[in-house]
């Protein structure tokens, strides 16, 4: 996932239940059976009520899952889903094929919202109802669904429907889509939201294959993170297969009025018809990216790589759902200036999807590797100068965010027990992780380090990994093969950035930053330069003389507050106020808010009424909230457009603004 931005909030704690508590479940099932027997006589298959529920056991290997995958685990999931837009409900059956690892009479799943209607054991058509208990709700992780099984249980079938508490689902009215005629639905599973729409064993340590049969309105196309159709089915029925094992947070669904166009032999783009031509042009280099990635670190192992451009409410820049990257339409900047996000999501096909963090404490293994890999792809396609500018932008963001975080949260290896795993999705995991790899590359040499990474992806393909396992592998296969000393523990387990951190520089950034300082000091930087004798007349400063990343550096080099009249001059000459590049626009809007440049408010409102990407919403609403002259206006704007955003963005903004609807 690209471009997470976090806000620090106070959260409630939950109580970890001792592992020994799990042993008590078998004694409680006799009570549950009696209650379920009585309720079945009344044709009511509802689970135990709140007073009768019990606490589950948080899995010892993962503080964010109750599942007992060390005893019995899902190895294949077959879904039957009926998508009802009128009721904003998915009616589902989750058929889990299990692998028993130890003797147990209980299989525990994670849920956080689905209404469980009944549970059966056995193959489809040969099912027998069984007892189940839903445990006490705990913040962030939801509830344990404990199911009674017998020694021969191989199939567990969970009948359920989603509720309004499904935080993964974004049901969109037609007016919020590009075409304005059809509704739209998409999911966002990372980190632990898949359990809000599918009962699963929710730890990333367990990889599964899955299949699905999905029914949707006939005028819409359904897609998943699996093998996908390219045209609509006249009956609205679709079958999907994901034959490579993946963690459940990568199960994804999108349903809308969609069109597909190929970009190459194994890649293409889906989006609404109104955006398809723009998307095809913007992502034209995708086949080159795939070739560059394969040349670096080995074959792409997912057969097809497609991108779906979702509606603007999607809370992230991209999400690496295998075979089908979910992308925010802010990537369609009109000048291909935001395609590094696509390079990032493609890189996840190796780091994150192929080799996955075993828990959310190890999240940097997903994102640090991916940011490094993304930068190598960008260097291969567009040159080192561009890649270095992209790295500098991210490094500046890392330095800013680290200054606001608790010291412990600047470690690569995190401690997220009793916390929302989203708290670990900061630039530390992304950029500090990437700069660890950049530092290793510098110290051990690119050729040797590339060989190490290529072998790393091959040796751990379709596996999960902890930070400690990575450290052992790194020392054995790279560090200990040389006489070079490297401070691995400091990078992994200590706060901040070590002194040996790789330093990236950019002469082009230095030039544009000098220009910003001149403007801040009152110089007319837009005046046409005087013509020198015998030389060609140089043009006046214009926006197309620099790339968007340079203009980001320009804005960041300006004072945090400026005379609004000076900012109006920039808008008159460079039109930052309505640029298609959302990265530059966001930087500009924040400076404008801090400077009380109120003439730009209509442009800000237009932007945040449409864009739901959390990376952009958070700094804008933060600036509005922190400025007494704009705080009330910001709150009114938020209330006006709040329902345009995904639940992920809504939760962050509600916390930031202390808003309670």
Residues 6+ apart with CB under 8 A from 383: none
Asked if 430 is an active-site residue, the reply is yes
3-class SS at 437? helix
334 belongs to an annotated ligand binding site: no
Helix (H) / strand (E) containing 28: helix 25-41
> CA 391 from chain center: how many Å?
20
Residues present in the chain in total: 661
Taking alpha carbons only, the member of 557, 596, 441, 623 closest to residue 7 is 623
d(CA 118, CA 129): 7
* 475 labeled binding residue: no
- Name the β-bridge partners of 351: 355
Residue 188 annotated as part of some ligand binding site: yes
- Tokens 């976090």 locate to 6
Dist. CA 482–CA 452, nearest whole Å: 13
User: For 377, what's the count of Cα atoms within 13 Å in the CB-facing half-sphere?
Assistant: 28
Question: Would you say 76 is a known binding-site residue?
Answer: no
Structure tokens at 372: 């490094």
Phi, psi of 516 (to 5 degrees): -65, -40
Angle at 77 between CA 365 and CA 130, to 5 degrees: 125
374 among known catalytic residues: no
Is 389 annotated to bind a ligand? Reply is no
CB-neighbour burial class of residue 144 (10 A; exposed 0-12, middle 13-18, buried 19+): buried
> Is 318 annotated as contributing to ligand binding?
yes
Residue 659 is classified by DSSP as -
Classify the phi-psi angles of 236: left when phi > 0, otherwise alpha if psi is within -120 to 50, otherwise beta.
left
Q: What's the CA gap between 170 and 141, in Å, rounded? A: 20
Using a 10 angstrom Cβ sphere, with 0-12 exposed, 13-18 middle and 19 or more buried, the burial of residue 81 is buried
Exactly one of 14, 430, 546, 638 is catalytic; which is it?
Answer: 430
Residue of 178, 259, 282, 345 marked active site: 345
614 is in an annotated binding site: yes
Binding residue per annotation — 575? no
Cβ-proximal residues to 551 (8 Å cutoff; 6+ apart), any chain: 512, 543, 574, 576, 584
CA distances from 191 to 14, 249, 366 (A): 18, 6, 12
367 is known to lie in a ligand binding site: yes
- Residue 369 annotated in ligand binding: no
What residues have CB less than 8 Å from 101, skipping those under 6 apart? 69, 70, 71, 72, 73
Q: Is 322 annotated as a binding residue?
A: no
Is 348 annotated as contributing to ligand binding? yes
- For the stretch 388-423, what's the b/e string if a residue is b when 16 or more beta carbons lie within 10 angstroms of its beta carbon? bbbbbbbbbbbeebbeebeeebbbbbbebebbbbbb
Tell whether residue 317 is among the known ligand binding residues. Answer: yes
Q: Which residues are annotated as a binding site for a peptide?
A: 188-190, 315-320, 613-615
Binding residues for Zn(2+): 344, 348, 367
Report the binding-site residues.
188-190, 315-320, 344, 348, 367, 613-615
* Catalytic residue IDs: 345, 430
């Amino acid at each position: 996932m690209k471009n997470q931005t976090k806000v620090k909030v106070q959260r409630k704690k939950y109580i970890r239940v001792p592992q020994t508590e799990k042993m008590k479940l078998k004694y409680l099932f006799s009570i549950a059976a009696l209650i379920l027997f009585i309720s079945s006589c009344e044709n009511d298959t509802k689970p135990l009520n709140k007073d009768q529920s019990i606490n589950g056991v948080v899995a010892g290997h993962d503080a964010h899952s109750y599942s007992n995958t060390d005893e019995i685990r899902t190895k294949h999931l077959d879904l039957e889903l009926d998508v009802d837009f009128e009721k904003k409900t998915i009616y589902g059956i989750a058929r889990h094929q299990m692998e028993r690892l130890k003797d147990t009479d209980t299989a525990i799943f994670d849920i956080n919202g689905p209404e469980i209607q009944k549970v059966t054991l056995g193959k489809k058509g040969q099912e027998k109802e069984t007892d189940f208990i839903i445990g006490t709700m705990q913040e962030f992780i939801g509830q344990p669904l404990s199911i009674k099984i017998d020694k021969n249980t191989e199939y567990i079938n969970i009948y359920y429907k989603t509720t309004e508490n499904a935080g993964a689902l974004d049901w969109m009215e037609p007016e919020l889509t590009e075409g304005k005629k059809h509704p739209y639905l998409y999911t966002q599973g990372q980190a632990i939201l898949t359990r809000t729409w599918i009962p699963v064993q929710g730890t990333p340590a367990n990889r599964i294959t899955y299949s699905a049969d999905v029914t949707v309105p006939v005028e819409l196309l359904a897609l998943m993170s699996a093998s996908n159709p390219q045209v609509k089915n006249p009956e609205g029925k679709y079958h999907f297969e994901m034959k490579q094992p993946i963690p459940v947070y990568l199960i994804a669904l999108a349903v809308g009025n969609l069109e597909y166009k190929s970009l190459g032999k194994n890649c293409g783009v889906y989006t609404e018809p109104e955006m398809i031509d723009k998307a095809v042009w913007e992502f034209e280099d995708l086949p080159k990216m795939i070739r560059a990635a394969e040349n670096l670190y080995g074959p792409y192992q997912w057969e097809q790589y497609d991108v779906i451009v979702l509606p603007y409410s999607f809370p992230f820049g991209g999400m690496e759902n295998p075979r089908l990257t979910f992308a925010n339409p802010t990537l369609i900047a009109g000048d291909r200036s935001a395609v590094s996000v696509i390079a990032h999501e493609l890189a996840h096909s190796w780091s994150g999807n192929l080799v996955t963090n075993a828990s959310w404490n190890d999240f940097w293994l997903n994102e640090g590797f991916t940011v490094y890999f993304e930068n190598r792809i960008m260097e291969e396609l567009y040159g080192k100068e561009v890649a270095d500018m992209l790295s500098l932008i991210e490094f500046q963001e890392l330095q800013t965010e680290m200054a606001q975080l608790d010291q412990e949260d600047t470690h690569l290896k995190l401690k997220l027990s009793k916390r929302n795993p989203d708290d670990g999705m900061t630039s530390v995991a992304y950029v500090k992780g990437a700069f660890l790899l950049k530092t290793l590359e510098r110290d051990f040499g690119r050729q040797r380090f590339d060989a190490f990474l290529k072998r790393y992806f091959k040796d751990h393909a379709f596996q999960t990994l902890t930070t400690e396992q990575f450290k052992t592998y790194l020392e054995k296969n790279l560090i200990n093969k040389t006489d070079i000393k490297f401070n691995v523990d400091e990078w992994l387990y200590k706060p901040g950035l070590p002194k040996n951190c790789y330093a990236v520089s950019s002469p082009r950034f230095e030039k544009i930053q000098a220009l910003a300082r001149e403007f801040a000091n009152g110089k007319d930087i837009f005046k046409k330069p005087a013509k020198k004798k015998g030389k060609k007349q140089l043009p006046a400063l214009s926006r197309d003389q620099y790339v968007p990343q340079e203009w980001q550096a320009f804005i960041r080099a300006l004072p945090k507050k400026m005379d609004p009249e000076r900012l109006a001059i920039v808008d008159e000459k460079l039109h930052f106020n309505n640029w298609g590049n959302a990265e530059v626009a966001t930087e500009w809007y924040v400076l404008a808010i801090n400077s009380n440049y109120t003439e730009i408010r209509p442009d800000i409102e237009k932007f945040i009424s449409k864009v739901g990407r959390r990376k952009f919403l958070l700094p804008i609403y933060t600036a509005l909230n922190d400025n007494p002259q704009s705080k009330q206006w910001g709150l009114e704007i938020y209330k006006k457009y709040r329902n345009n955003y995904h639940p992920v963005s809504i939760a962050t903004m509600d916390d930031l603004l202390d808003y309670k609807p």
